[in-house]
Amino acid sequence: MTDHYTYRITWSPEDGEHVGRCAEFPSLSWLASTPGQALSGVRELVRNVLADMQASGESPPEPLADRSYSGRFVVRVPPETHRELVLKAAEEGVSLNRLVSARLAG
């Protein structure tokens, strides 16, 4: 299987090492002294889990990169926040959607 999964390497002050994680397998992680070793370790771990899943007939999670996205999602906010955002959008002469989208992207 082609590896399209999403990996992230962060520093763990608690462990004093780099941590490799895979977004599609949130329960997996790999600690290593270098970022490269953390990435290699978590990728190998994911390969092993995928092999185990295939052997047992389980379906692996779809990679985030391979999914399609509509560009829409609904967010509930308190009425006061909604009002403030509408006022800010009006002051800037843009739609509420454009204002919120720009803030999320920034």
Residues 37-51 have pLDDT tens digits of 999 999 999 999 999
Q: What pTM did the predictor assign?
A: 0.75
The residue that leads in pLDDT, 45 or 2, is 45
Residue type, 23: A
Express each pLDDT in 48-104 by its tens digit: 999 999 999 999 999 999 999 999 999 999 999 999 999 999 999 999 999 999 999
Residues 6+ apart with CB under 8 A from 3: 43, 46, 47
DSSP code string of 57-83: TPPPPPPGGGS---S-------HHHHH
